[in-house]
Amino acid sequence: MRNEKGSTLIEVLLTIGIASLIVGSAITILLFGISSYNRANEGSRVHQELKLAGFAISNEIRRVRPDGVELVDSNEVNVQDGFSYFYLASKNGKFELMQVSEGKSLAVTSEVITDIAFSVEKKGSQYYFVFEINSDKYSVASEVLMPNITNYPSEHLGIKRDAVRYLVR
């Protein structure tokens, strides 16, 4: 009997098959991890933009003059009329939150917003500016106390609009 060293064809094929399963599983796990990371990263970016928009709106609305806030429809926005605005501008089927101040337009967010609603509510003797900003998956809602507002037309309370015209102190 000869002492031959080597592998049979079956052993080679079995080794290739097992190695293919291990490499294939590793690639699948890697691709799943990359996909999960990208989804989480995009979600984080959108949520951050919505929070930034909420922060920008809150800061401006806290500074309005006593007679300086009015809810309007976005088609009533006139950049040159001396007022400041927050409104949605359509771009490629999505919306950007735009801020107009001193006759200049500035995009507060990129194209992540799907809907926005502004309203004014009265709680006790205080007036609150209420807004909700929505994207495909996330939403930011807030109430901002308007300490400078002492009177607001009651017929306009609770009505939701998609733009706000305001004057700051």
pLDDT for 59: 85
Alpha helices in 5-163 (DSSP H): 9-61
Query: What pLDDT is attached to residue 106?
Result: 79
Mean pLDDT by groups of 10 residues along the chain of 169 residues:
75 94 96 93 85 86 85 79 81 76 77 86 92 86 88 89 82
What pLDDT score was predicted for residue 31?
Answer: 95
**Residue 49 identity (one-letter amino acid):** E
**What is the structure's pLDDT at 24?**
96
Which has the closest alpha carbon to 19: 30, 27, 29? Answer: 27
* Residue 119 pLDDT: 93
Residue 89: Cβ-neighbour burial (10 angstroms; 0-12, 13-18, 19+): middle
The pLDDT value recorded for residue 90 is 78
Q: What is the pLDDT of residue 60?
A: 86
